[in-house]
Amino acid sequence: MPHLFMFDALREATDEEMQKDQSVCILGEDVGHYGGSYKVTKDLHVKYGDLRVLDTPIAENSFMGMAIGAAITGLRPIVEGMNMSFLLLAFNQISNNAGMLRYTSGGNFQIPIVIRGPGGVGRQLGAEHSQRLEAYFQAIPGLKIVACSTPYNAKGLLKSAIRDNNPVIFFEHVLLYNLKEEIPNKEYYLPLDKAELVCKGSDLTIVTYSRMRYHVMQAVDILVKEYSYSLEVIDLISLKPIDIESVVDSLKKTNKLMIVEECMKTGGIAAEIIAQINDNCFDLLDAPIVRLSSQDIPTPYNGNLEKATIISPQQIVDSVKALLNSKI
């Protein structure tokens, strides 16, 4: 099996689906001749031409509207946000059109569109380029939201997203593109609505997603080696709909829950999970749910301050020890 970087896995997924279906097209800033801001679309314009891999002006609201119109007429557009933060300029199109038109048209229109690109806190990219938009989009009816975390799931999820008849927001973390992993030679697709059980355990369920998966696993390595804790880790992958069934199944074993996210604490993904657990299976909990989230401030440019705003592996270690040693 070949070893691929995540950006190559995403490119391979796009290439395979474009070969199979001539209705699949790409548009966005610098997706063509430049090859995308992180080279996910490199050289695809040579293979498929400048109309199927379309460089757009810097006008997010306009080209998002164009992509939604193309989806209504039967194409399957993939829109790359050079940085997902820029898509706030297209929020009106995504919410009022992509998310709603299938409903407001009485089902006459489908919106098979994938909106993908780099996001999350990078390394000194500044506040405007370090936003975590998953909570912004989660409240919009009609959208599916996916956060890939490995080259393997990135490829399988993107192929499924391209084939889905609903609008999919596809988050790729800016610091994960250079991850490398074995990818099967055979074709595969992964479900857009299922979490991944990363490791099994019985003492505590830790739910996370995207880059925080790796911070959690660093902490788990320390906690298993030094304290012999048995920790179950779930990578959500699907942020809308949230696979709450997988979380509940794990809670039935562990009865304790910690959520680790890069999203802001106020109104974040963890807040939604806590609400659903409290609504549906509060009696499974033997202790209060612990939520580790980024601080509710714009991400600083200064490197040390930037690190201080997001959760570190050591914070996860300390929080797990505190929770499992608690007498509650």
**Which residues are known to be catalytic?**
60, 129
Cα separation, 310 vs 262, whole angstroms: 6
Structure tokens at 274: 């806590």
Cα separation, 64 vs 236, whole angstroms: 27
Contact call for residues 290 and 319 (beta carbons, < 8 A): yes
Structure tokens at 92: 């009106």
Structure tokens at 320: 């797990």
Half-sphere exposure of 111 (CA within 13 A, CB side): 30
Burial class (CB in 10 A: 0-12, 13-18, 19+), 141: exposed
Length, in residues, of the chain: 328
Among residues 122, 182, 118, 189, the alpha carbon closest in space to that of 147 is found at 118
Task: List for the chain the helix, strand, coil content (%; round to 5).
Answer: 40, 20, 40
Among residues 215, 212, 209, 180, the alpha carbon closest in space to that of 195 is found at 209
Does the bond joining 241 to the residue before it have cis omega, within 30 degrees of 0?
yes
